[in-house]
């Protein structure tokens, strides 16, 4: 049942529902501006996962994609986690399932599996360690094995492989949104803003990363622009990040490198969807206990390292 309310009324209803449910709203940095504004917490995948272990609220409304809500549920079994929009998934996470992973593990039986958090709970449960884009190198360096099977993002895995002496076996997954960004897009943007600092996400292609000043997770980018004395930035990740950067740094200017940088799943959440999800207690994330415990082990190992 769709809720037809003006934006102001939706806002007020969500605030009421937060009290009624004893809920906290967490939003990823890629969410729509109004969703970031109503959230209690915004962050990258690592911050949201970490924050999820510190919560007092009974209900967590996760505005992002499914794997993020699953991470919150895995780490917080005593809380109810609601995904803001039930169909919001991550196409890259869907590029690997347990059967694919088991096949790859049997091809590389001596490798330790490091799994990017952009993956299902089942895949995490079948992995040794998790990592995010903010800590992938740190996790890989801490693993007591020189052979790593890195899943599912080949671009992040390749980027990390250029920074370590370990043997990194790459699984062929990728993010449709970041992979669409090409050298041409970056060069065109650099021509338009020659003085701009270029920041890209490590989910981008290697040749795009090579043209950038730094490859960083979304929150690392936020910290970078805050600390930098530069005035203009070209941002090579989902365009939602530009909103928060501009809001917090009024003396600086931010441009998404290209209009192709839109993740359709991240954009599925609206204020209306949040209100509806909370009103009807929809999209509860349920993970079988046996899977949750094994997935938690991989996430806990990451949190202990990073
Ligand atoms: P971050 O962990 O950098 O926030 O990235 C998550 C993501 O989905 C990137 O596409
Ligand atoms: Fe997944 Fe890419 Fe969207 Fe991030 S931007 S949620 S990796 S599809």
Structure tokens at 174: 């990728």
| 197 domain residue, yes or no | yes
Atom 3, ligand 1: residue with shortest CA distance: 217
pLDDT tens by residue, 276-286:
999 999 999 99
The structural domain count of the chain equals: 3
Confirm whether 49 is domain-assigned.
yes
CA dihedral sign, ordered 110, 114, 205, 214:
negative
Q: What is the DSSP string of 248-303?
A: H-TTSEEEES-TT---TTGGG--HHHHHHHHHTT-SB----HHHHHHHHHHHHHHH
Atom of ligand 2 nearest to the CA of 203: 7
Q: Which ligand is nearest to the CA of 222?
A: 1
Nearest ligand for residue 153 CA: 2
Cα 62 versus chain centre, distance: 12
- Determine the pLDDT at residue 5: 75
Residues 294 and 280 in one domain: no
Minimum CA distance residue for ligand 1 atom 1: 44
pLDDT digits (tens, 9 = 90+) for 218-254: 999 999 999 999 999 999 999 999 999 999 999 999 9
Which atom of ligand 2 is nearest the CA belonging to 264?
Answer: 3
Instruction: Answer yes or no: is 298 within a domain.
Output: yes
- Split at pLDDT 50, 70, 90, the class of 306 is confident
Query: Do 114 and 163 sit in the same domain of this protein?
Result: yes
Q: Does some domain include residue 81?
A: yes
Q: Is 1 among the domain residues? A: no
With a 6 Å cutoff on the Cβ, whether 277 touches ligand 1 is no
Is residue 268 scored above 80 in pLDDT?
Answer: yes
Pairing of strands 253-256, 80-83: unpaired
**Closest CA relative to residue 263, chosen from 173, 181, 177, 200:** 177
The answer to whether residues 117 and 136 belong to one domain is: yes
Q: How far is the CA of 117 from the centre of ligand 1 (A)?
A: 9
Write down the pLDDT at residue 46.
81
**The whole model's pTM is what?**
0.95
Residue 123's domain spans which residues? 93-176+290-305
Q: Closest residue (by CA) to atom 6 of ligand 2?
A: 90
Do residues 48 and 11 both lie within one domain? yes
Q: How far away, in angstroms, is 5 Cα from ligand 1 center?
A: 31
- Arithmetic mean of pLDDT over the chain: 96
Section 162-168 average pLDDT: 98
Ligand in closest contact with the CA of 175: 2
Torsion of CA 288, 289, 291, 292, to 10 degrees: 110
Do 140 and 189 share a structural domain? no
Decide if pLDDT at 1 tops 90: no
CA 45 to chain centre: 4
Instruction: Say if residue 237 is preceded by a cis peptide, omega within 30 of 0.
Output: no
| Residue 82 in domain | yes
Residue 261 included in any domain: no
At residue 3, the pLDDT reads 63
User: Does position 18 have pLDDT exceeding 70, yes or no?
Assistant: yes
CATH of the domain at 110: 3.40.50.10800
Q: Indicate which atom in ligand 1 lies nearest the CA of residue 177.
A: 10
Question: Model confidence at 175, in pLDDT bands (50, 70, 90)?
Answer: very high
CA distance 157 to 94: 17
203 lines ligand 1 (CB under 6 A): yes
**Tens digits of residue pLDDT in 101-158:** 999 999 999 999 999 999 999 999 999 999 999 999 999 999 999 999 999 999 999 9
The pLDDT-based confidence of 211 (bands split at 50, 70, 90) is: very high
Q: Are residues 16 and 60 in the same domain?
A: yes
**pLDDT of 2 over the 80 cut:** no
Does 4 have pLDDT greater than 80?
Answer: no
Query: Are 40 and 61 in the same domain?
Result: yes
- Does 75 share its domain with 17? yes
Q: List the single range of 78-82, 90-94, 232-236 with lowest mean pLDDT.
A: 78-82
Rounded to an integer, the average pLDDT of 15-35 is 97
Quick one: 103 and 122 in the same domain? yes
Residue 97 near residue 14, CB atoms below 8 Å: no
Shared-domain flag, residues 13 and 83: yes
């Amino acid at each position: 049942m769709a809720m037809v309310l003006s934006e102001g009324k939706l806002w007020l209803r969500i605030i009421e529902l937060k009290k009624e449910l004893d809920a906290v709203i967490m939003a990823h940095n890629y969410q729509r501006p109004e969703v970031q504004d109503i959230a209690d917490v915004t962050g990258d995948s690592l911050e949201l996962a970490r924050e999820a272990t510190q919560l007092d609220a009974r209900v967590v409304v996760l505005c992002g994609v499914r794997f993020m809500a699953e991470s919150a549920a895995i780490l917080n079994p005593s809380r109810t986690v609601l995904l803001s929009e039930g169909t919001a998934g991550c196409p890259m996470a869907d590029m690997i399932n347990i059967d694919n992973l088991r096949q790859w593990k049997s091809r590389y039986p001596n490798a330790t599996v490091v799994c990017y958090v952009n993956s299902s709970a089942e895949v995490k449960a079948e992995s040794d360690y998790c990592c995010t884009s903010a800590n992938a190198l740190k996790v890989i360096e801490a693993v007591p094995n020189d052979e790593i099977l890195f899943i599912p993002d080949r671009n992040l895995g390749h980027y990390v492989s250029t920074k370590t002496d370990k043997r990194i076996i790459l699984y062929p997954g990728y993010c449709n949104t970041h992979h669409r960004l090409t050298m041409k897009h970056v060069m065109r943007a650099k021509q338009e803003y020659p003085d701009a600092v270029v920041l890209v996400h490590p989910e981008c292609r290697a040749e795009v990363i090579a043209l950038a000043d730094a490859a960083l997770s979304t929150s690392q980018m936020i910290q970078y622009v805050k600390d930098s004395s530069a005035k203009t930035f070209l941002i090579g990740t989902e365009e939602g990040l530009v909103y928060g950067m501009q809001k917090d740094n009024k003396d600086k200017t931010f441009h998404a490198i290209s209009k192709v940088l839109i993740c359709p799943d991240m954009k599925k959440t609206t204020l209306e969807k949040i209100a509806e999800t909370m009103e009807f207690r929809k999209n509860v994330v349920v993970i079988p206990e046996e899977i949750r415990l094994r997935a938690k082990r991989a996430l806990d190992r990451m949190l202990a390292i990073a």
